[in-house]
Chain A
Amino acid sequence: MSGSKPDILWSPHHADRYVICDSELGLYRIGPVGSGETKAGALPLSVETAATLLAINSDTPYMKCVAWYPKHEPECLLAVGQANGRVVLTSLGQSHNSKCKELMGKEFVPKHARQCNTLAWNPVDSNWLAAGLDKHRADFSVLIWDISSKFSPEASVAAEKIRLSSGDTDSGLVVTKPLYELGQNDACLSLCWLPRDQKLLLAGMHRNLAIFDLRNTSQKTFVNTKAIQGVTVDPHFPDRVASFFEGQVAIWDLRKFEKPVLTLTEQPKPLTKVAWCPTRMGLLATLTRDSNIIRLYDMQHTPTPIGDETEPTIIERSVQPSNSLIGSFAWHPTSQNRMVVVSAANRAMTDFTVFERISLAWSSTTSLMWACGRHLYECAEEAGVGGEGTVEKDIATKMRQRAQSRYGHDMVQVWKNHLLAGGDDPQLKSLWYTLFFMKQYTEDMEQKQQGSKQALVYSGIKNIVKSSSGTTENRRCWSGSDRQTDVPRFHSEERSLALRLCGWINRGPDINVEPFLRSLEGEGEWERAAAVALFNLDIRRAIQILNKGASAERGDLNLNVVAMALSGYTDEKSSLWREMCSSLRLQLKNPYLCVMFAFLTSELGTYDGVLYESSVAVTDRVAFACMFLNDAQLPRYMEKLTSEMKEVGNLEGILLTGLTKDGVDLMESYVDRTGDVQTASFCMLKGSPGEVVKDPRVQCWIENYRNLLDAWRFWHKRAEFDIHRSKLDPSSKPLAQVFVSCNFCGKSISYSCSAMPHQGRGFSQYGVSGSPTKSKVTSCPGCRKPLPRCALCLMNMGTPVSNCPGTGHGTGKSGEKVDLTRENKLAQFNNWFTWCHNCRHGGHAGHILSWFRDHTECPVSACTCKCMQLDTTGNLVPSDSH
């Protein structure tokens, strides 16, 4: 503060007042911009606030430091430390009859003049004022003055020896006898009273930090350090102190005072001020010389599962309150994260609030939380079901619900998976039906022992029709009508297969869509049924379906009108019917009705109105194409449709691509669009030869889905998924990672290990087999020596397990019977081996679990290992019921 370098002090009791001190003292009041009382002569501090100068005091020259009296009364009493070591009491903006009148101008004079570096009022006994002075060979550097002491008569006896300058003695306002004198022959650069006790004073002395205890002044605690400037106690943590030296800040813990607990990264320029934020825990602001930024250090202790001896994490950032170089700053005592900054040059002030860091966390379920300042915000998905205008649920919520309903696990009636998924997603419906038809077809083939087409089925219709050969063309008349049509229809084995995969026809050589039509009627999809009937050239059936639809419950009567229009069909090229239909059909809302007329009014061999009507299900369009496009048109259309599907990630396109690399590409854009790794994982696992499963993208989806299940603590679901996966993709079975070997012979005690050709059969291998010779389960099958004892029950370990582990269980083929035997084969979990990887003690899983419900330390006496705490997930419970 020497010369022009300013400093700021907030009033301890008036949240709107502060003092700026440079060569003089200026008292300001801060208020909102433009409010009546602040209007005249107000200095804008920010967009919203302005300051008014209330008073100026220039009575005290050579100011070195200032401290504001901490009590309410008298308000605005300031102690000023001067360059010659004198401390003067003064005030600002007080009326003359105020309480502090007798204190005004009181001076405290040290025996030997030298600079006063720092002042600190005792926060409890507010009569005490500590002053830190420079070094003198014979004098003390820390003087504690009692501001209430009078110019004592004893001292005036010696007055003739003390040649005080004239005038001083007259006023009777000079005190020369301090209450305490500390730090002889030393210099004091900074001071603060410790909140622990009103008689503890922390001082930054020349090359050491010292704690003086006024109850016993001959004793002091000290530590040698260079960081002795600007000592300041963390208002939220009375044992934490910051001090600095040149560019380096040291953080001290007074309980462990030998060395700093932390030193912050060194700044290239010397620091001028370091201050803890009074409204925010662990936030330290620092300012260096000739700088326009304030650097903030956010020190947060985060609890860790292992011990608490960790250093706090420090987040460092800078704020720039204004463009000019900063002279000083001061945190507002109560307003959150707010400070006033004064520029180095022209006493320009800025009111500035440090924006709080926002920390944000996604939960593993869909909710999102963020914290800013003292506010915690949660953003959760609306729980409301149905209702008007409810937004679509987040994919994570959907996946979670689907996982709980065992989505993807129906391996027999594969199509049912779309119902498990909620049954409201047409793309999923199409996907699972496609997969179902593919599976059905391959199973048929197995029965017929015709492997030729099997590989082809999963490669999608696009590839199937590519290999089409021997296409025949015929022209059929409209069934139930004598009229001849000139619409050519194409047939081949591959086209039939494609129609089957589209679900239009069942197995068998003849093309009979009647079962399909009936199922559509059953589901009330009248328009679609009518369209399918029409595409099969059965216009009468189509009309019949529409009539049925119109008369059905809640049926659309307009369907009758459509049926009427349909019945008027004529192939006369220039008829009025044709002209009206081709123009009016576009006004039909239902795409199927629309394509029906498109089909009837189309020119020969060009069915673009049907093929490119995107509202029509892909299966229907593909089936239509397979019937009415020739060998040249069909692959082109398939190619075009496939790339369109891949582009948008439409799962209906899996029908075309199959589970090939193309399919993975399509799925990739689907996952990119939706994030639904669950469907992607289950779908791709169905890819039979396993080529697609090896695709790194597929592996990535699978791993992500597993992680997701783990994050939801759906551990049973994850295990189920792993089992499901290992059935479809045997290469994914994990290798055994843990073996238990006998202490005596060193052989693995698990019988099954050597017996099983493929490893990873759950945990059953950790059990000990009851061997055919009926050796005890608690002894090693190799050498028959006893196995280790459980640390709790002191019984030898060992679990009975099947001696014929080779028979597959749980493939679902033999149903309940297998499950029954499985119960017997797997040892009770309670008897399983378990042990701590750290201290290597262990026992029966059940015993160990119940021990750690009440204890933190290992059950073995004299072992202090906190085994369970080492397992970060050990105390969590799965959130899915098994």
Chain B
Amino acid sequence: MDLHILDHRLRVTSICKNGLVNFTHPLIKLIFLRNRARCKFFSLTETPENYTVVLDEEGFKELQPSEHLLVESSVWLPLNVVSNGNSSSSSQAVGVTKIAKSVIAPLAQQHVSVFMLSTYQTDFILVREKDLAVVINTLEEEFNIYREVGGEYSAVLSQDVRNGFQKNGKEAPQLTVHPLLIPQNQFCVMSLDPDTLPAIATTLIDVLFYSNSPKEGALPSQDLDCIKFFSFSLIDGYVSLVMDTEAQRQFPADLLFTSSSRELWRMVRIGGQPLGFDECGIVAQISQPLADNDISAYYISTFSFDHALVPEEDIVSVTEMLQQHRKEPAC
């Protein structure tokens, strides 16, 4: 297995719901005019709380500082696991589940905070730049690690980064158990030919920026049966969309790509209070039991909460499993 450290330096930001109007121009530019904005990594996720925007430094320049914009102070680097074609596992489970044991758990043990971003195409594991030495040190046994520089991959050895190596604090893991929320709506994960992006532009703008209009007055966060969640990412030219079935109906059916089985997903939201960025082991908490049971999952972290998507047909067993898990927490 190969681990690629991609050539993007990312910032994690949040735009509050009221402040969105101030940012519609840069966001539209980043989404639709990808040749004009030199941003190569862009992800926008709408949650009931806020809009989480993850983008590279080129894209970050487009966002004007404002009271409505919260910026996490660190630079994050995306990691990507490449199976290298020799996947011997017969497991059909993919996504976070596949890397739970090899990446997520070891990093959690080393107290490296991770920010997950699953897309239609792949799963990105974002780590802080300052943690890179620890990451390499932790994962080099399991992976061949390559760092992308100017489009070429070169092998990374831990000796090369030993200088900056500091072990993170060794204090006993806080076994914070976060409350879970399982909304009722069904989600689908889809993609799109970037060339046809203009064809769905109006729908996309409508869904992204005007979604609150019909339900104005009602606080969306209170309506926990059906959570508002929409994610759009445009990374290295690939489009990925996560939306619920209600939103999907607004798009023309023949343009969006999805699996031929038209699989649907249910969401598990992790966290009652905003999680912050320093706590470790949150992803591990969820992904470990899923991996043990070989259940596929998407995992999308946002500024406030984490979101796991599991197959619709497995939601019952997942719920039970996670409930069980928090009664007798893993050591």
Asked if A and B bind, the verdict is yes
Which residues from chain A sit less than 8 Å from chain B, CB to CB? 2-3, 62, 83-85, 109-115, 134-139, 161-164, 176, 182-187, 207, 210, 212, 218-220, 222, 224-226, 245
What are the residues of chain A within 8 A of B148 when measuring CB–CB?
A: 207
Known A-B contacts A137-B123, A226-B152; A113 and B259 likewise in contact (beta carbons under 8 Å): yes
Q: Is the CB–CB distance between A219 and B120 below 8 Å?
A: no
Measured CB to CB, the closest approach of chain A to B243, in angstroms, equals: 16
Whole-angstrom CA separation of A565 from B195 in the bound complex = 106
Whole-angstrom CA separation of A113 from B190 in the bound complex = 8
Known A-B contacts A83-B196, A185-B122; A114 and B191 likewise in contact (beta carbons under 8 Å): yes
Q: Is the CB–CB distance between A220 and B95 below 8 Å?
A: no
Whole-angstrom CA separation of A220 from B94 in the bound complex = 22
Whole-angstrom CA separation of A161 from B259 in the bound complex = 12
What are the residues of chain A within 8 A of B195 when measuring CB–CB?
A: 2-3, 83
**B18 contacts chain A at the CB level, 8 A cutoff:** no
Q: Is the CB–CB distance between B193 and A83 below 8 Å?
A: yes
Nearest B residue (CB) for A112: B259
Known A-B contacts A136-B121, A137-B94, A138-B95; A113 and B258 likewise in contact (beta carbons under 8 Å): yes
Set B87, B118, B258, B262: member contacting A137, Cβ < 8 A = B118
User: Could you say which of B82, B88, B118, B260 has the most chain A C-beta atoms within 10 Å of its C-beta?
Assistant: B260
Known A-B contacts A114-B191, A137-B95; A218 and B85 likewise in contact (beta carbons under 8 Å): yes
Kindly list 13 other residue pairs between chains A and B, CB separation below 8 angstroms, not including A110-B260, A138-B95: A83-B195, A112-B120, A114-B121, A135-B238, A137-B118, A137-B119, A164-B260, A182-B85, A185-B83, A186-B85, A187-B121, A212-B85, A218-B85
What are the residues of chain A within 8 A of B261 when measuring CB–CB?
A: 111, 161-163
Whole-angstrom CA separation of A182 from B193 in the bound complex = 22
Whole-angstrom CA separation of A84 from B83 in the bound complex = 24
**B296 contacts chain A at the CB level, 8 A cutoff:** yes
What are the residues of chain A within 8 A of B88 when measuring CB–CB?
A: 218
Q: Is the CB–CB distance between B85 and A184 below 8 Å?
A: yes
Whole-angstrom CA separation of A162 from B119 in the bound complex = 22
Set B94, B153, B254: member contacting A138, Cβ < 8 A = B94
Q: How many A-B residue pairs have CB under 8 A?
A: 93
What are the residues of chain A within 8 A of B86 when measuring CB–CB?
A: 218-220
What are the residues of chain A within 8 A of B258 when measuring CB–CB?
A: 112-113
Q: Is the CB–CB distance between B260 and A111 below 8 Å?
A: yes
Interface residues on B, range: 20 to 34
Question: What secondary structure prevails in chain B residues at the interface with A?
Answer: loop
Whole-angstrom CA separation of A134 from B193 in the bound complex = 10
Whole-angstrom CA separation of A84 from B94 in the bound complex = 21
**B23 contacts chain A at the CB level, 8 A cutoff:** no
What are the residues of chain A within 8 A of B257 when measuring CB–CB?
A: 84-85, 112-115
What are the residues of chain A within 8 A of B214 when measuring CB–CB?
A: none
Known A-B contacts A83-B196, A184-B87, A185-B122; A138 and B151 likewise in contact (beta carbons under 8 Å): no
Known A-B contacts A2-B195, A224-B153; A186 and B82 likewise in contact (beta carbons under 8 Å): yes
Measured CB to CB, the closest approach of chain A to B89, in angstroms, equals: 10
Question: What secondary structure prevails in chain A residues at the interface with B?
Answer: loop
Measured CB to CB, the closest approach of chain B to A358, in angstroms, equals: 40
What are the residues of chain B within 8 A of A218 when measuring CB–CB?
A: 85-86, 88
Which residues from chain B sit less than 8 Å from chain A, CB to CB? 81-83, 85-88, 94-95, 118-123, 146, 148, 151-153, 191, 193, 195-196, 238, 254, 257-262, 296
What are the residues of chain A within 8 A of B152 when measuring CB–CB?
A: 224-226
Q: Is the CB–CB distance between A113 and B121 below 8 Å?
A: no
Set A85, A136, A207: member contacting B153, Cβ < 8 A = A207
Q: Is the CB–CB distance between A115 and B193 below 8 Å?
A: yes
Measured CB to CB, the closest approach of chain B to A881, in angstroms, equals: 64
Whole-angstrom CA separation of A110 from B120 in the bound complex = 14
What are the residues of chain A within 8 A of B123 when measuring CB–CB?
A: 137
What are the residues of chain B within 8 A of A225 when measuring CB–CB?
A: 152
Measured CB to CB, the closest approach of chain A to B294, in angstroms, equals: 13
Whole-angstrom CA separation of A135 from B194 in the bound complex = 13
Nearest A residue (CB) for B95: A137
Whole-angstrom CA separation of A111 from B88 in the bound complex = 20
6 pairs, A vs B, C-beta closer than 8 Å? A111-B260, A135-B122, A138-B94, A184-B87, A186-B85, A225-B152
Measured CB to CB, the closest approach of chain A to B109, in angstroms, equals: 25
Q: Is the CB–CB distance between A137 and B121 below 8 Å?
A: yes
Whole-angstrom CA separation of A225 from B118 in the bound complex = 25
Whole-angstrom CA separation of A139 from B296 in the bound complex = 13
Whole-angstrom CA separation of A134 from B192 in the bound complex = 11
What are the residues of chain A within 8 A of B120 when measuring CB–CB?
A: 112, 114, 136-137
What are the residues of chain B within 8 A of A112 when measuring CB–CB?
A: 120, 257-260
Whole-angstrom CA separation of A207 from B84 in the bound complex = 12
Whole-angstrom CA separation of A457 from B254 in the bound complex = 105
Known A-B contacts A114-B191, A163-B262, A164-B260; A207 and B151 likewise in contact (beta carbons under 8 Å): yes
Measured CB to CB, the closest approach of chain A to B264, in angstroms, equals: 10
Q: Is the CB–CB distance between B122 and A137 below 8 Å?
A: yes
Measured CB to CB, the closest approach of chain B to A805, in angstroms, equals: 69
Measured CB to CB, the closest approach of chain B to A106, in angstroms, equals: 15
What are the residues of chain A within 8 A of B296 when measuring CB–CB?
A: 138
Known A-B contacts A137-B122, A207-B151; A62 and B259 likewise in contact (beta carbons under 8 Å): no
User: Could you say which of A110, A220, A224 has the most chain B C-beta atoms within 10 Å of its C-beta?
Assistant: A224
Whole-angstrom CA separation of A288 from B296 in the bound complex = 43
Measured CB to CB, the closest approach of chain A to B147, in angstroms, equals: 12
Measured CB to CB, the closest approach of chain A to B307, in angstroms, equals: 16
Set A162, A212, A226: member contacting B260, Cβ < 8 A = A162
Measured CB to CB, the closest approach of chain A to B81, in angstroms, equals: 8
Measured CB to CB, the closest approach of chain B to A131, in angstroms, equals: 14
What are the residues of chain A within 8 A of B254 when measuring CB–CB?
A: 84
What are the residues of chain A within 8 A of B119 when measuring CB–CB?
A: 137
Whole-angstrom CA separation of A161 from B119 in the bound complex = 23
Measured CB to CB, the closest approach of chain A to B313, in angstroms, equals: 9
What are the residues of chain A within 8 A of B81 when measuring CB–CB?
A: 185
Q: Is the CB–CB distance between B85 and A109 below 8 Å?
A: no
Measured CB to CB, the closest approach of chain B to A63, in angstroms, equals: 12
Measured CB to CB, the closest approach of chain B to A83, in angstroms, equals: 4
What are the residues of chain A within 8 A of B83 when measuring CB–CB?
A: 184-186
Measured CB to CB, the closest approach of chain A to B84, in angstroms, equals: 8
Nearest B residue (CB) for A138: B94
Q: Is the CB–CB distance between B259 and A134 below 8 Å?
A: no
Measured CB to CB, the closest approach of chain A to B231, in angstroms, equals: 14
Whole-angstrom CA separation of A185 from B98 in the bound complex = 12
Measured CB to CB, the closest approach of chain A to B176, in angstroms, equals: 29
What are the residues of chain A within 8 A of B238 when measuring CB–CB?
A: 134-135
User: Could you say which of A113, A139, A164, A224 has the most chain B C-beta atoms within 10 Å of its C-beta?
Assistant: A113
Q: Is the CB–CB distance between A109 and B260 below 8 Å?
A: yes
Known A-B contacts A137-B94, A224-B153; A185 and B82 likewise in contact (beta carbons under 8 Å): yes
What are the residues of chain A within 8 A of B262 when measuring CB–CB?
A: 162-163
Please list the 6 inter-chain residue pairs (A to B) with the smallest Cβ-Cβ separation, ordered nearest first: A113-B257, A138-B94, A135-B121, A163-B262, A112-B259, A83-B193
What are the residues of chain A within 8 A of B146 when measuring CB–CB?
A: 224
What are the residues of chain B within 8 A of A134 when measuring CB–CB?
A: 121, 191, 238
Whole-angstrom CA separation of A2 from B197 in the bound complex = 13
Measured CB to CB, the closest approach of chain B to A130, in angstroms, equals: 15
Q: Is the CB–CB distance between A183 and B94 below 8 Å?
A: no
Whole-angstrom CA separation of A109 from B118 in the bound complex = 24
Whole-angstrom CA separation of A161 from B152 in the bound complex = 42
Nearest B residue (CB) for A246: B151
What are the residues of chain B within 8 A of A161 when measuring CB–CB?
A: 261
Whole-angstrom CA separation of A661 from B302 in the bound complex = 96
What are the residues of chain B within 8 A of A137 when measuring CB–CB?
A: 94-95, 118-123
Measured CB to CB, the closest approach of chain B to A141, in angstroms, equals: 10
Nearest A residue (CB) for B240: A137
Measured CB to CB, the closest approach of chain B to A221, in angstroms, equals: 10
Whole-angstrom CA separation of A114 from B256 in the bound complex = 9
Whole-angstrom CA separation of A162 from B262 in the bound complex = 7
Nearest A residue (CB) for B80: A185
Whole-angstrom CA separation of A185 from B122 in the bound complex = 7
Q: Is the CB–CB distance between B85 and A62 below 8 Å?
A: no
Whole-angstrom CA separation of A163 from B188 in the bound complex = 14
Measured CB to CB, the closest approach of chain B to A289, in angstroms, equals: 13
User: Could you say which of A83, A112, A134, A225 has the most chain B C-beta atoms within 10 Å of its C-beta?
Assistant: A112
